Amino acid sequence: MKISIIGLSLIGLAMIAHSQSVAQSPAGVASPQAASGAPVAAAAAICPIVYPMDENPSAHGYQYAFYGNAFFINRDGYLITAAHVMHSFRTGGVPHILVQRVEAPPQMLKTELVFEDREHDVAVLRATPNPFAGKLYRVATLAPDAAAVSRGEGIVVAALRPKRRQPHSFETELEDRSAASVIDFQNSVLEKGLGETELVLFNHEVILGQSGAPVLAAGSGEVVAFIEGQWLHPAAGLVAEMQHGQDTHSVGAAVPIRYAVAALREKGITWEQPEAKAR
């Protein structure tokens, strides 16, 4: 596990752990216990980032290593994830994603790294081939909303993860939905030698493999941030914002989506527009 210089645990480096989320169900299947405000369609926009371990598939598909999550932001096949999830691929290897299909098991697709903004831990990928072309894949997009969130605002963390420690590509993933609230904001250096990034802190533990997963506004379902990692050093006064019975290990950190939106705008990449309504 990579620990950053500011006491932030970056969780998404080919590791798996048990979840403590509100709901767990097969990807794309509604759970009656799903967190309020988390649209079922979100699962079709989220893809696990993986790397195949086999040269040839078995009856269960390719065995793979799991690194984190990404989510589609337009129908051209572009995805957003956390740049630190790409760390293991910087010396070689092609990141893949698992994409749900309409009448078949999930399929592994290659991605290309379009660009990284390491200062703000933003990475943009593009799936090849584009799963939105044709009708083979069950895919959707999520709309980034660059408006700032407020303390006390309800959010939902939506992520996918394998069912077991030695997963295969034909297996349907588990969907985690975790309801939480924004409790604080802290500036941190995410990449040594670069500037600070404002992080959104929320009152729910981040588990292994959730890095890069979208954080949704509980009301609108639009993306307001993406998971950075576990916050290990709460600031003074943060404990007062915690719910009764929680401790410092129950604080997660996320990167506001406005950093990704700014990078997309600079690169001329379009994204799904949020609906014009208040959260």
Q: Tell me the domain boundaries of the chain.
A: 1-279
Query: What is the spatial distance between Cα 166 and Cα 160, in angstroms, rounded to a whole number?
Result: 15
pLDDT confidence of residue 163: 84
pLDDT confidence of residue 239: 59
Categorize the per-residue pLDDT at 136 as very low, low, confident or very high, splitting at 50, 70 and 90: very high
What separation in angstroms does the CA of 141 have from each of 75, 115, 168, 210, 216?
Answer: 7, 19, 25, 18, 13
pLDDT confidence of residue 279: 46
The candidate with the shortest Cα–Cα distance to 255, out of 220, 218, 210, is: 210
Average pLDDT over residues 211-222: 94
Categorize the per-residue pLDDT at 240 as very low, low, confident or very high, splitting at 50, 70 and 90: low
pLDDT confidence of residue 134: 87
Categorize the per-residue pLDDT at 25 as very low, low, confident or very high, splitting at 50, 70 and 90: very low
pLDDT confidence of residue 27: 52
Query: What is the spatial distance between Cα 21 and Cα 34, in angstroms, rounded to a whole number?
Result: 10
The candidate with the shortest Cα–Cα distance to 18, out of 248, 251, 209, is: 209
pLDDT confidence of residue 125: 98
Categorize the per-residue pLDDT at 23 as very low, low, confident or very high, splitting at 50, 70 and 90: very low
What lies within 8 Å, CB to CB, of 139 at 6+ separation is: 44, 45, 72, 99, 100, 131, 132
| Share of residues in the chain with pLDDT > 70 (%) | 78
Fill in the amino acid letter for 201.
L
Measure CA 205 to chain center. Answer: 14
Question: Do 158 and 222 form a contact (C-beta atoms < 8 A)?
Answer: no
pLDDT digits (tens, 9 = 90+) for 151-185: 999 999 999 999 888 898 988 888 888 899 999 99
| pLDDT at residue 16 is higher than 50 | no
| Share of residues in the chain with pLDDT > 90 (%) | 59
Fold of 1-279: Thrombin, subunit H (2.40.10)
Kindly give the residue spans of alpha helices, DSSP state H, lying in the chain: 42-45, 257-267
DSSP secondary structure letter of residue 168: B
The candidate with the shortest Cα–Cα distance to 144, out of 72, 84, 94, is: 72
* Residue corresponding to tokens 């030698």: 193
Average pLDDT over residues 242-263: 81
pLDDT confidence of residue 175: 86
Categorize the per-residue pLDDT at 9 as very low, low, confident or very high, splitting at 50, 70 and 90: low
Report which of residues 204 and 234 the model is more confident about: 204
- Evaluate the omega torsion of the peptide bond into residue 52 and state whether it is cis, within 30 degrees of 0: no
pLDDT digits (tens, 9 = 90+) for 46-94: 999 999 998 888 889 889 999 999 999 999 999 999 999 999 898 889 9
Fill in the amino acid letter for 69.
N
pLDDT confidence of residue 244: 56
Query: What is the spatial distance between Cα 223 and Cα 215, in angstroms, rounded to a whole number?
Result: 6
pLDDT confidence of residue 247: 58
Query: What is the spatial distance between Cα 24 and Cα 202, in angstroms, rounded to a whole number?
Result: 20
What lies within 8 Å, CB to CB, of 279 at 6+ separation is: 145, 147, 153, 217, 219, 220, 222
Buried b (16+ CB within 10 A) or exposed e, 202-236: bbbbbbbbbbbbbbbbbebbbbbbbbbbbbeebee
For the chain, give the mean pLDDT.
83
